[in-house]
Structure 1
Amino acid sequence: MDVDEKHDRVIVHIDIDCFYAQVEMNKKPELRDVPMGIQQKNIVVTCNYPARARGVGKCMYITEAMQKCPELILVNGEDLADYRRVSAAVYSTLCETGSPVERLGMDENWLDVTQIVKLRIQELEGKKPELRGHTFGELSCDDCECTNNLIVGSIIAEELRNTIKEKFNLTTSAGISHNKLLSKMVGGKHKPDDQTVISPSSALNLLTDDMPPKSVPGIGRRTVEQLTAVHLDTLDQLRQASVENIVEAGILRPQALQLKKMAWGQDDSEVKMTGRPQSLGLEDRFMGLYNEAECKEKLSWLLDRLTQLIAEDGRKPTVIKVTVRDYYKDKLVKKFHKESRQGKISARLFNLDIQGNLAEESKIEILQITLGLLGKMIDFKDSFHITLMGLGVSNFLEQIEKKGSIKNFFISPKKEDGLPQSVPTAVVKRKNLFDESEETSSKKCKTLENENSPEKVDNVLHKALDNDRSQKTEPKSKSNNSSIQSFLRKQESYAVINPKNSNTENTFLKIIESKEDLGSEDDEEIISLKCPADYDPEVWNNLPIELKQELIASNKPSTSYKVESSEKDSLDNNSTDKETDENAYSDTEECPEGVDQQVFEQLPKEIRSELSKSMSKNTPSTKIPPKPHGSSSKASKPNKGNKKDTGAKSHSILSYFSRQK
């Protein structure tokens, strides 16, 4: 197979040397020059280089490590909080370069410094750069002049390593190549605290013929088992094998092609910026849990640890998962076997206090949920032997509104990139667009009417918002004690503007006010949906247009509006307006049939009156004679196939208060 066609990238792989051990040595400098290992359960997960010089290795049992180095000092490393914080700080520092950075675990990062290299070469003005660090094999390329780029990349890698050492007192090792695979593999050739450069011509010197496929990063245990089944035990055999032979092992064709490329040292995968994690979780292994009380205690311990991670992350999860391993089930299947169950959970349970702790009632409720998930995998009435338990959360929300917020009725709970899926485009903090003079508003309206481009409409509206932020908002009126009005007060809201999916003329509702109302001699159109006096302006701006129209029509029946809209059903019809003009609102409205009495009594008088009039449209004007004694008090149900219009549209606010039959 031919070598890479393009060698125009420069990829740097940075690995923090014995990361856990260095973090502990920074906390206790006296451990720096003595053999020291990080203990998790009965295993030494990593150790410093003095301990490695005495024969202690990573993931070695403590008994074996102590035999090799009796003076080994063990530090408990089961709490990963400090390691995560340092890892995040190093990642943030690397991101300051402006280059794409991809995390690989807590101690490794890839950087694509191609653009920085191009700028450096321009600054050199033809001068030959000086290589920093070591080279693996000969630094040459028969197909292009990429070696000069790699040399400049070695200079940038050294600068990055020096920055990390100065800021965090951490030594690092780096690999520099034209792809991610080679940069990672060559970075370990001169550890610790050093770096190595490899050119494309030396790829096969790094990936020797007798090397097993599992030595290549990205080829996992399951893939190795499939390759072994078709007698592909070395990289040379994998290179010589046909794609069809690899597919016979049960590997899909695209993956088979990728495996052959990796065997030749080729990797065209991009360095992708690492986003926020899609899930958070942790597991714990132990000798055994044998009853429900022990399981609940372990879940409580895991939840406390998990709460710390959620507090650092800042988001609220909506899915929780429990993972468990039962030793008795392992014996049945004769292999390591884990089970997991997950379920929905209210994000409000994770409202943490200032110290980042859960409320006691929230913790109790979460433990009940997790114990229920565990009960789906373990029969507490039967014997069991749990040796592993994990707890994780996912499906995060960026922001959780207050429990009484009216936004919860109109915004989808599922979010993507921190925004609800129902949000089309820009989200703008909005007060009131219409506190300006009539002349300014008229000019804005004319501009919107004359511009057909949605982008221009968006720009004009954003300018209007900027002007209004400098002005004071109108004072709020006194709150009403009714329960439905409480939803329309003192809540945070945002207005969503999306002019891209419709023409300018159809995007905004135009309302023409009379000369007396405007206090002006010019009779011009303005864009207005002013908040009634009884409602909170911020929450009013978040209501759907249909609800605004209906509430305006019911709240100001005597105001003469001329309404223009692209939709036929944008406002109540003229007959409804005439009825509200002729009849004053009554404080003693009777509850219509089919409406909940308690909800009706708490409604504002304007909405009660409107609801009564709308419900009475389908009721005969003549009074119904009293029923004879003994007749059934239940009204006969209408035929479902011949339902009549109740006077309220499908999007009307009246539909929220009608009792479902």
Structure 2
Amino acid sequence: MDDSVLQSSRNMESSSSTYTDIDGDHPKAIIHIDIDCFYAQVEMVRNPELRGAPLGIQQKNIVVTSNYEARSFGVKKCMLVSDAMKVCPNMKLVNGEDLHNYRTASNKIFAVLQCWKCPVEKLGMDENFIDVTNLVQEKLKSVNTAGLAVSGHTYSEPSMECPCGCHARLRIASQIASEMRKKIFDDLGYTTCAGIAHNKLLAKLICPLHKPNDQTTIYPEHGTSFMSTLSSVRSIPSIGSKTTETLISHKIITVSDLQEAPLEVLKKIFSSDMAVRLKNLGLGEDNTPVKQTGKPQSIGLEDSFKTVSVKSEVEDKFSALLQRLLVLMREDGRIPVSLRVTLRKRDAKRLSSHRESRQAQISPSIFTLNNGLLTVTDAGQQKLMSIVMRLFNKLIDLSKPFHLTLVGLAFTKFQERMTGRSSIVNYFMNDISVQSVLNLQNDCDTSATSMDYSAVSPSSSTTTDLSDAEVEPSPKKPKKVNWIAKRRCLAKEEVASPSKLKVGELRLNSKELEKVSELRLNSRDRSLTPRASPAKDNLSDASDSMKDIEEGACEDCPSYVDKEVFNALPDEMQQELKAMWKNPAGADKPRSSPRKNKAKTNTIMKYFVPQK
């Protein structure tokens, strides 16, 4: 028996024997869906006349992809146009350098997959991972799994049922995958292939086994044996060219070699975590979650060519990329705040090409909103081009010859156009709170109570006039906005907001003591004595407006005092006022305060005794 076959057989037996020891080891159900010859299908859906004939998608002088009719003649991916036309002279070519239609089709397919209410993770424009674990659990409650068959192909039939129940879950997942592929075809006209497994790695690798327009399910116990059939470690996703070169330099070429390599040897070559990761991938083990795809973190375009060595040509290519990039930015709707420039230099000393990038911040004011769409004026485009060329000059020493094979532009670090809690209002008011000391009644018509506290968020639908509100930082409640609505009386003298007052300004001066004494004496016979002063007129109006104040809030308070306002004052101030009311004669004593000639015009009495 061949050594590789024997090793695969041992792995299968080892996997099967562990079932009695492991329970719930394969809980997930992952689907990987890949669109068949994506670019070519998009063109065939747009132009049905292209169906049935050999078709190639051309970018520069390369056929980046082709339909299956062209592949049957020997046309391969990334083949030179000249070579492709030799093997398939009747092939029709469509220019595919503009990716707009392909991005639109990709977004439509993504939207269809979202209908199942499961996490969907995009991988490029033509591939998607879907985690249907929760949906499968729901279907298990109503589906008889005894006679449930797999939809599509199976990599290998299991010798026994896994005690964790993964076989039944994957059968249901295969039915869901079939439904998804059917809906994509019915709604959009695209054929697809699918892979179904308990992790992302196996689902992706098993997907193309029966291309096109079909699907394959693989069970957990066959993961190791399937991985051993891969001819190169480069076939494993997430193993890049540099890691592959390192593995090959240590005689680890195939995935079977990686499976047999001792972990201790790998740890000497890579870090401990990396070694464990590579070992698990080689065995078909992967716990990477399916992450719901949102808007991309960057929007970029690239243009590759044989070589460019003149600055003016580079500037022309950047200008063309920028025009196309602005179209993508407009469709995305976010405002970019960073611009990245990428160059690929031809270097004869290095076997593999290398890229260099620089990025710079850009002002959001360059972008304007026009009929709900983001636009850039001609002046704004000139600013962007000046930033691009400035970054280019940092990457290239123009005093020396240069040879470029690729240029790229990308917008990164976006900000949303939002209102409400994330609007500019909330930005400025984020750490501000309004503190109200008093909200006093006077002879103006108002519906507010004496102490009217309200907390109105900037995003609230309640409209509040904040022109008079006094704001100051709140050390106790940061990042919270408390708004206090205050009515202005235009017919009466404007009274300064209490939040402007300092503690020293809340002391009563002698003039106010005299006034309070006079008011207290006159208030005893107000009903018998005609009103003779403006202060008494205001006092009478104020007392009428305070009839609804509860009795007993302050037994020593005169009738003209707002008792709720009095109770809101500091205890020291309440004691001072009570002492003054009990001994009004004290107001006749000589003034001994060193501040006797500096009477404050904005004092607490202005709120107890309204003035005209």
Say if 1:515 and 1:521, in contact at 8 Å, map to a contact too.
no
Matched, 1:310 2:329: yes
Measure how far apart 1:295 and its partner are: 2.4
Q: Which whole-Å CA distance do the structure 2 matches of 1:529 and 1:558 have between them?
A: 28
Match of 1:349 in 2: 366
The structure-2 alpha-carbon separation of the partners of 1:507 and 1:359, relative to structure 1 and needing over 3 Å to count, comes to closer
Deviation sequence 1:453-483 (CA, Å, 0-9, x none)? xxxxxxxxxxxxxxxxxxxxxxxxxxxxxxx
3-state SS of 2:287 partner: coil
3-state SS of 1:166 partner: helix
Say if 1:283 and 1:388, in contact at 8 Å, map to a contact too.
yes
Which of these residues, 113, 138, 141, is aligned with residue 132 of structure 2?
113
| Matches for 1:151-550 after TM superposition, within 5 Å | 151-208=171-228, 211-249=231-269, 251-327=270-346, 330-333=347-350, 335-351=352-368, 353=370, 357-399=375-417, 427=421, 493-494=425-426, 509-516=435-442, 519=445, 524-527=450-453, 545-546=472-473
Partner amino acid for 2:331?
A: E
Stretch deviating more after TM superposition (520-529 or 38-47):
520-529
Say if 1:493 and 1:541, in contact at 8 Å, map to a contact too.
no
The structure-2 alpha-carbon separation of the partners of 1:126 and 1:60, relative to structure 1 and needing over 3 Å to count, comes to closer
Deviation sequence 1:107-156 (CA, Å, 0-9, x none)? 00111111111221211256632321111111454443321111111111
Measure how far apart 1:365 and its partner are: 1.1
3-state SS of 1:56 partner: coil
3-state SS of 2:294 partner: coil
Deviation sequence 1:522-556 (CA, Å, 0-9, x none)? 964112699xxxxx96775999545999xx9x999
Q: Which whole-Å CA distance do the structure 1 matches of 2:468 and 2:53 have between them?
A: 66
Say if 2:131 and 2:290, in contact at 8 Å, map to a contact too.
yes
Say if 1:511 and 1:527, in contact at 8 Å, map to a contact too.
no
Say if 1:14 and 1:109, in contact at 8 Å, map to a contact too.
yes
The structure-2 alpha-carbon separation of the partners of 1:522 and 1:172, relative to structure 1 and needing over 3 Å to count, comes to closer
- TM-score normalised to structure 1 length: 0.65
Q: Which whole-Å CA distance do the structure 1 matches of 2:329 and 2:497 have between them?
A: 53
Q: Which whole-Å CA distance do the structure 2 matches of 1:103 and 1:529 have between them?
A: 43
Bigger relative CO (Cα 8 Å, ≥ 6 apart)? 2
Match of 2:96 in 1: 77
3-state SS of 1:131 partner: coil
Q: Which whole-Å CA distance do the structure 2 matches of 1:364 and 1:562 have between them?
A: 50
3-state SS of 2:228 partner: coil
Measure how far apart 1:26 and its partner are: 0.8
Partner amino acid for 2:391?
A: L
Say if 1:427 and 1:497, in contact at 8 Å, map to a contact too.
no
The structure-2 alpha-carbon separation of the partners of 1:143 and 1:253, relative to structure 1 and needing over 3 Å to count, comes to farther
Partner amino acid for 1:512?
A: L
Q: Which whole-Å CA distance do the structure 1 matches of 2:369 and 2:321 have between them?
A: 16
Measure how far apart 1:290 and its partner are: 3.4
Larger Rg: 2
Measure how far apart 1:69 and its partner are: 0.8
3-state SS of 1:269 partner: coil
3-state SS of 1:144 partner: coil
Measure how far apart 1:558 and its partner are: 6.4
Give % identity.
Answer: 36
| Matches for 1:56-135 after TM superposition, within 5 Å | 56-124=75-143, 128-135=147-154
3-state SS of 1:267 partner: coil
Partner amino acid for 2:324?
A: R
**Number of paired residues?**
474
Q: Which whole-Å CA distance do the structure 2 matches of 1:181 and 1:571 have between them?
A: 66
The structure-2 alpha-carbon separation of the partners of 1:227 and 1:15, relative to structure 1 and needing over 3 Å to count, comes to same
Deviation sequence 1:477-518 (CA, Å, 0-9, x none)? xxxxxxxxxxxxxxx7348999xx9xxxx9763442223267
Which of these residues, 44, 61, 65, is aligned with residue 46 of structure 1?
65
Say if 1:291 and 1:380, in contact at 8 Å, map to a contact too.
no
Q: Which whole-Å CA distance do the structure 2 matches of 1:375 and 1:521 have between them?
A: 67
Match of 2:537 in 1: none
Q: Which whole-Å CA distance do the structure 2 matches of 1:344 and 1:205 have between them?
A: 50
Measure how far apart 1:396 and its partner are: 0.5
Partner amino acid for 1:390?
A: G
Partner amino acid for 1:311?
A: R
Q: Which whole-Å CA distance do the structure 2 matches of 1:362 and 1:133 have between them?
A: 54
The structure-2 alpha-carbon separation of the partners of 1:121 and 1:572, relative to structure 1 and needing over 3 Å to count, comes to same
Q: Which whole-Å CA distance do the structure 1 matches of 2:145 and 2:455 have between them?
A: 65
The structure-2 alpha-carbon separation of the partners of 1:380 and 1:236, relative to structure 1 and needing over 3 Å to count, comes to closer
> Which sections of structure 1, spanning at least 5 residues, go unmatched?
400-417, 420-425, 430-491, 531-535, 564-569, 583-661
Partner amino acid for 2:54?
A: P
Q: Which whole-Å CA distance do the structure 2 matches of 1:343 and 1:127 have between them?
A: 61
The structure-2 alpha-carbon separation of the partners of 1:518 and 1:194, relative to structure 1 and needing over 3 Å to count, comes to farther
RMSD: 3.7
Say if 1:137 and 1:205, in contact at 8 Å, map to a contact too.
no
The structure-2 alpha-carbon separation of the partners of 1:255 and 1:326, relative to structure 1 and needing over 3 Å to count, comes to closer
Partner amino acid for 2:309?
A: Y
Say if 1:495 and 1:542, in contact at 8 Å, map to a contact too.
no
Measure how far apart 1:203 and its partner are: 1.6
Q: Which whole-Å CA distance do the structure 1 matches of 2:172 and 2:449 have between them?
A: 69
Partner amino acid for 2:110?
A: Y
Measure how far apart 1:289 and its partner are: 3.2
